Amino acid sequence: MSHQNRKVEIFDTTLRDGLQVEGVSATVDDKLRIAEQLDHLGVDFIEGGWPGANPKDIEFFRRAETELDLTTSTFVAFGSTRRPRGKVDEDVTLQNLLDANTAAVCIVAKSSDYHVTQALQTTLEEGTAMIADSVEFLRGNGRMVLVDMEHFFDGFKQNPEFSFRALEAAVVKGASHVVLCDTNGGSLPHEIEDIVRQVNAHVGKDVTIGIHCHDDTGCAVANSMAAVRGGARHVQGTLNGLGERTGNANLTSIIPNLQLKQNYVCLPEGRLEHLTVVSHRIAETLNRAVNPQAPYVGSSAFAHKAGLHVSAIARAKDAYEHIDPALVGNGTRFVVSEMAGRATIQMKADDLGLTLDGAVVNQVIDDLKRLEHEGYHFEAADASLELLMRRAAGWEQHFFKVESMRVITDEIPGAAFSTEATVKVWVGEERFVFTAEGNGPVNAIDTALRRAVQKAYPQLANIHLTDYKVRILDGGEATGAVTRVLLSATDGVTDWTTIGVSANIIEASWRALEESLVYGLLHSTDG
């Protein structure tokens, strides 16, 4: 196969379809930052949303024109075909598309006869005319036109003849792409491959065939890959699979699947290794953490819970990993617990670049056993484990020294609870005393501690907490119940988790918080 045939275009719709996910909203600044990240990754197309749909999108397209400096990606405005029985030159949506001033536009078209007659309440002839007129109009105004064929697969299963006519209407008028959409997400890979193959035989010579899948059967990634097998050379999806209901096809899986397993070219040379960072940065911007178990980019994607075969992994890592994690910018992680033997600890130390002698390794094993007995769980708290190992080797954190911490919660009748924390710390020879209010004790001590040390360490502004989990452990032992706190933080690129255990929930939280900041500072200063 020629090089040309191995190119599969990547069309990202995180900023349009992706933002349909419940509980996510993005500001105009967020959207600009996400577009920059997608360009850094090197996708072919970035769909920005509907120009003119609401004040936020109007502002986004206006600012994108001057502030977005894309070096790799083509920016795309999204809209729809003209209204039934309307005129193209009087159509508001088409005019908004032109006003967005993008080189390419993507319009959604009805390609299922059921949707034309039921949803649009018009004839099939008018349905195809809407597509033909709109493509012709936009092409006439110098735009590259991609057509999203909505409900294509469901329509094709009912009435393939009409679906072909809808495709032809777009192709004849000069659409560059026809994108077959599994809008309800109900199709399976063998159906997708079969239908795409038929479409490819019919119009594949005249147009690029695209695929747009939703994950309602859990097959969106497989369906997109099946479409490529059937002849599609343009894949639409979102970073991290964001999207309404069960999500859109996940580009963070599709891109490496196509590029590393099937030798297709999706991104420019040298960009695939940005995948993990871009995935995490976008998740961070949208305040929606990456699933730890996400293929390729999740924090557990290349994590090994080292048991009996630990030494085998150390000898031949590639025997236990499906790809070299560096190819996607991720890394191998060894998960360590009280069950760990000497070899595991040694391997973890190598991984962290620490040199531990035999006595220190024994010390770490003893500490782990003792602490896990008290309720610590280091498997879930890699950052605390690293600090523990460093301390066993004689390291001490020199960033700050806490003199005291106090937290007070008041209930004032008729008003809300109020919480206030005071932290006294030393940074070198300087003493700082800071008080902060918070919406709870953890928030208050976090704010006070940061204020106290932020002057010396401005990089703390980039570090913030992403998750706080509390578990009450009752081992039925004489000591009674203890509280385990797991605290996750991020600097926008790396995520880490620390742990604190105590009979007192404030103390447990404080321990985890202090370690979280120390870990963040340690890794921000040593690069």
Q: Does 284 bind Zn ion (CB under 5 A)?
A: no
Distance CA(280)–CA(158), nearest Å, equals: 41
**Whether the Cβ atoms of residue 15 and residue 34 lie closer than 8 Å to each other:** yes
CB of 153 to Zn ion, least distance (A): 13
CB of 420 to Zn ion, least distance (A): 48
Distance CA(142)–CA(339), nearest Å, equals: 66
Q: Applying CB under 5 A, which part among 14-22, 61-69, 374-382, 401-409 lies near Zn ion?
A: 14-22
CB of 19 to Zn ion, least distance (A): 11
Q: Which of 485, 479, 408 is nearest to 441 (CA)?
A: 408
Count, residues in the chain: 527
Q: For Zn ion, give the closer residue by CB, 236 or 252.
A: 236
Q: Applying CB under 5 A, which part among 11-19, 65-73, 441-449, 459-467 lies near Zn ion?
A: 11-19
CB of 159 to Zn ion, least distance (A): 21
CB of 108 to Zn ion, least distance (A): 9
Q: For Zn ion, give the closer residue by CB, 225 or 512.
A: 225
Q: For Zn ion, give the closer residue by CB, 17 or 386.
A: 17
CB of 237 to Zn ion, least distance (A): 9
CB of 86 to Zn ion, least distance (A): 24
Helix/strand number for the chain, H first, E second: 17, 16
What is the helix (H) or strand (E) element at residue 181, kind and residue range? strand 177-182
Site string for Zn ion, 433-452 (x = CB under 5 A): --------------------
CB within 8 A of 53, min separation 6: which ones?
Answer: 96
What is the helix (H) or strand (E) element at residue 285, kind and residue range? helix 275-285
Site string for Zn ion, 225-264 (x = CB under 5 A): ----------------------------------------
DSSP string, 107-167: EEEE--HHIIIIIS-S-HHHHHHHHHHHHHHHHHTT-EEEEEEETHHHHHHH-HHHHHHHH
Number of neighbours of residue 101 by Cβ within 10 angstroms: 14
**297 CB-side CA count, 13 A:** 28
Q: For Zn ion, give the closer residue by CB, 17 or 133.
A: 17
Q: For Zn ion, give the closer residue by CB, 240 or 337.
A: 240
Task: Report the DSSP pairing between strands 482-490 and 464-473.
Answer: antiparallel
CB of 436 to Zn ion, least distance (A): 44
SS3 at position 467? strand
Six-digit token string for 103: 């080189």
Q: For Zn ion, give the closer residue by CB, 156 or 302.
A: 156
Instruction: State which amino acid sits at residue 359.
Output: A
CB of 349 to Zn ion, least distance (A): 47
CB within 8 A of 340, min separation 6: which ones?
Answer: 306, 348, 365, 368
SS3 at position 256? helix
**Whether the Cβ atoms of residue 388 and residue 511 lie closer than 8 Å to each other:** no
Q: For Zn ion, give the closer residue by CB, 17 or 113.
A: 17
Q: For Zn ion, give the closer residue by CB, 154 or 284.
A: 154
Q: Applying CB under 5 A, which part among 13-21, 325-333, 355-363, 398-406 lies near Zn ion?
A: 13-21
Q: For Zn ion, give the closer residue by CB, 234 or 450.
A: 234
Q: For Zn ion, give the closer residue by CB, 17 or 367.
A: 17
**Residue 321 CA, distance from chain mean position:** 22
Is 331 exposed, middle or buried (CB count within 10 Å of its CB: 0-12, 13-18, 19+)? middle
Six-digit token string for 358: 């035999």
Q: Applying CB under 5 A, which part among 9-17, 71-79, 307-315, 442-450 lies near Zn ion?
A: 9-17
Q: How many chain residues touch Zn ion (CB under 5 A)?
A: 1
**Whether the Cβ atoms of residue 306 and residue 340 lie closer than 8 Å to each other:** yes
CB of 157 to Zn ion, least distance (A): 18
CB of 212 to Zn ion, least distance (A): 6
Site string for Zn ion, 15-54 (x = CB under 5 A): --x-------------------------------------
CB of 251 to Zn ion, least distance (A): 13
What is the helix (H) or strand (E) element at residue 211, kind and residue range? strand 208-213
Q: For Zn ion, give the closer residue by CB, 11 or 75.
A: 11
SS3 at position 313? helix
Closest-by-Cβ residue to Zn ion is 17
Q: For Zn ion, give the closer residue by CB, 17 or 215.
A: 17
What is the contact surface with Zn ion in residues (CB under 5 A)? 17
